[in-house]
């Protein structure tokens, strides 16, 4: 969850004192500077680095890494020492660290805050207690904690050592315990824990880091229960555009669709989380979900059978899709069910296109649901282009044991990498004002003009831009519904709700020219290059390919204002039905 940044008002005041682990360098330091800019209070910054009494003469006014390392080597040689790469790097890191810490202290002072640095190891309880006691005599009572300290030891779990685990775990967890043990928690006003999306989603090579951060998350909830007066929040940060996110890692994140947090935006989000209106938001996620890299494919082809019990109560969105007086599962939900299941079997692989989707017999929630519905998936191909091909079918048995087939897809293609979004060459967003109604007027109950029966979960046709016997172009916006409303059919990569919405222009075309409506029957091919946006405008260009007394076939191109395509539904066939079979 990423919250909107608002003008921040909190109980932080000029005498507030924050102790900040890992707060003198890196991202945590930048957050503290922004916090001091908004609220000029006091900060005790903790770090393991020792401050230099004074910078060596040879290092002054030298900031280029290569030049500084050369001077370090020359200084060691002048002392009769043989410089090794390890010795040079150690001295270089010490100088750079000293500079960064002092710059942090100076910047906090410049923006109106007050800061003191303490060299202390948060995993050493006795040393930490002694140093905190000494500094609070001058700084005042500590009112807040920002626990930003952390270590990484990324490697596959079978290669991790006990020392790796201890290095990561102790800083996060023992460090928190020691900080809390130094204070009177009944007087604590703010507790901010730097967790990670790795704790929330998990991440390959970070089992220890993920575990430690998830313990921070649970600790936040526990402490909030015990000290409800305290503003407690565990922030599950994504990767920042700084520090440990190297250019190579940025490229990998981009390939996997993982966005990184700009420093300026991230620091403001930290301040925003301390707004009094978020006093009871104990855990937040700021960052993209972590999608794992694709696993190597196995030449052995497998089959899967997945059982699911469907209920009307578990799927509130069904009340927005009533056909003939009964809730009916949208065909788009059947498609999403099959596609999502394939993707979940192969993390790191994503649906690009399918061929030959058929609605065989829809699922109607009429009190006669089957006891369970079966999804059969069969791998029919894997290839060296990191592509997996499935065929899928959803079926059930009636009370007499007869098999009833509901939906099928002949080929579902997943890929580890996706092409760039193509451009729609026949883009035409000119308004001809043939159909002047807008917004919810398309969805009016008992309408004999444009009989769109859909409720809030599927609404979003806002304007018809132009219409002809061959084509209709519309403007749409799908307002996101919450997870509870989505029920057993969550939006992941494929969105069944905006998918249904994107076919509504064909209903308008049919009614305008023929005074008819249709229900989906089959699709020759569906391609998805990017997720259809939520809560913002997009466009559907519907090209009608054929019309008979009993059916209509069209291509749907879903794109942005510039014509960049999100997805294409090609050869979408609808069966003409009497309007009296619908409930409005």
- Residue 246 scores a pLDDT above 90: no
Mean pLDDT for the stretch of residues 101-110: 97
- Same topology, domains 303-415 and 439-581? Answer is yes
429 or 445, higher pLDDT: 429
Is 338 exposed, middle or buried (CB count within 10 Å of its CB: 0-12, 13-18, 19+)?
buried
pTM reported for the whole predicted model: 0.68
Reported as a pLDDT band with limits 50, 70 and 90, residue 251 is confident
- Residue 242 scores a pLDDT above 90: no
pLDDT digits (tens, 9 = 90+) for 373-413: 999 999 999 987 789 999 999 999 998 999 999 999 999 99
pLDDT digits (tens, 9 = 90+) for 470-487: 999 999 999 999 999 999
The CB-based long-range contact list for 106-111 (8 Å cut-off, 24+ gap) reads 107/33, 108/32, 108/33, 108/36, 108/43, 111/33, 111/36, 111/37, 111/40
Statement: 17-50+117-286 belongs to CATH 3.40.50.620: no
pLDDT at 2: 41
Tokens of 235: 């922030």
SS3 state of residue 87: helix
What are the structural domain ranges in the chain? 17-50+117-286, 303-415, 439-581
Average pLDDT over the chain reads: 92
- Residue 583 scores a pLDDT above 90: no
Query: Which among 291, 296, 297, 287 is positioned nearest to 255, based on CA atoms?
Result: 291
Query: Which among 345, 310, 352 is positioned nearest to 330, based on CA atoms?
Result: 310
Query: Alpha-carbon distance 465 to 149, whole Å?
Result: 54
What is the C-alpha R_g of the chain?
A: 30
Statement: 439-581 belongs to CATH 2.60.40.740: no
Reported as a pLDDT band with limits 50, 70 and 90, residue 4 is very low
Q: What is 303-415's CATH superfamily?
A: Hotdog Thioesterase (3.10.129.10)
């Amino acid at each position: 969850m990423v919250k909107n940044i608002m003008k921040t008002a909190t109980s932080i005041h000029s005498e507030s004192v924050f102790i900040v682990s890992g707060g003198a360098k890196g991202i945590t330091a930048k957050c503290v500077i922004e916090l001091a800019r908004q609220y000029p209070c006091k900060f005790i910054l903790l770090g393991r680095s020792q401050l230099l009494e004074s910078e060596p003469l040879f290092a002054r006014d030298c900031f280029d890494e290569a030049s500084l390392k050369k001077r370090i080597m020359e200084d060691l040689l002048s002392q009769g020492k043989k410089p090794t790469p390890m010795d040079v790097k150690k001295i270089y890191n010490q100088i750079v660290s000293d500079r960064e810490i002092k710059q942090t202290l100076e910047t906090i002072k410049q923006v109106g805050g007050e800061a003191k640095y303490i060299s202390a190891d948060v995993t050493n309880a006795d040393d930490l207690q002694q140093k905190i006691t000494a500094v609070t005599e001058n700084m005042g009572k500590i009112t807040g904690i920002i626990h930003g300290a952390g270590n990484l030891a990324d490697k596959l779990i079978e290669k991790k050592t006990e020392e790796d685990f201890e290095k990561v775990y102790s800083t996060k967890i023992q460090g928190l315990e020691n900080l809390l043990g130094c204070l009177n928690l009944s007087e604590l006003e703010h507790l901010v824990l730097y967790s990670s999306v790795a704790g929330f989603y998990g991440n390959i090579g970070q089992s220890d880091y993920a575990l430690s951060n998830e313990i921070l998350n649970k600790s936040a909830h526990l402490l909030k229960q015990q000290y409800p007066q305290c503003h407690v929040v565990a922030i599950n940060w994504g990767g920042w555009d700084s520090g440990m996110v190297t250019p190579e890692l940025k490229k990998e994140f981009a390939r996997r669709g993982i966005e990184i947090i700009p420093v300026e935006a991230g620091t403001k989000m930290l301040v925003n989380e301390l707004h009094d209106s978020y006093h009871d938001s104990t855990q937040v996620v700021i960052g993209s979900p972590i999608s794992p890299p694709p696993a190597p494919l196995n030449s052995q082809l497998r089959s899967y059978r997945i059982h699911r019990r469907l209920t009307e109560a578990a799927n509130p969105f069904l009340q927005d899709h009533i056909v003939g007086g009964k809730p009916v599962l949208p065909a788009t939900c059947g498609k999403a069910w099959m596609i999502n299941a394939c993707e979940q079997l192969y993390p790191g692989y994503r649906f690009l296109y399918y061929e030959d989707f058929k609605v065989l017999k829809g699922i109607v929630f009429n009190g006669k649901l089957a006891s369970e519905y079966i999804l059969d998936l069969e791998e029919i191909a894997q290839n060296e282009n990191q592509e997996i091909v499935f065929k899928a079918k959803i079926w059930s048995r009636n009370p007499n044991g007869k098999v009833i087939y509901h939906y099928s897809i002949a080929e579902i293609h997943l890929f580890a990498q996706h092409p760039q979004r193509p451009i729609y060459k026949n883009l035409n967003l000119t308004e001809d004002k043939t159909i002047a109604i807008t917004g919810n007027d398309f969805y009016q109950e008992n309408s004999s003009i444009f009989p769109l029966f859909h409720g809030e979960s599927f609404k979003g046709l806002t304007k018809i831009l132009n219409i002809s016997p061959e084509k209709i172009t519309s403007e749409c916006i799908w307002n996101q519904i919450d997870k509870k409303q989505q029920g057993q059919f969550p939006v992941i990569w494929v969105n069944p709700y905006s998918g249904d919405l994107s076919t509504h222009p064909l209903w308008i075309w049919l009614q305008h020219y023929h005074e008819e409506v249709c229900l989906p029957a089959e699709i020759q091919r569906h391609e998805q290059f990017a997720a259809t946006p939520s809560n913002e405008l997009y466009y559907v260009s519907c090209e009608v390919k054929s019309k008979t007394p009993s059916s209509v076939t069209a291509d749907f191109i879903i794109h942005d204002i510039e014509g960049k395509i999100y997805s294409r539904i090609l050869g979408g066939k609808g069966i003409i039905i009497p309007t009296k079979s619908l409930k409005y």
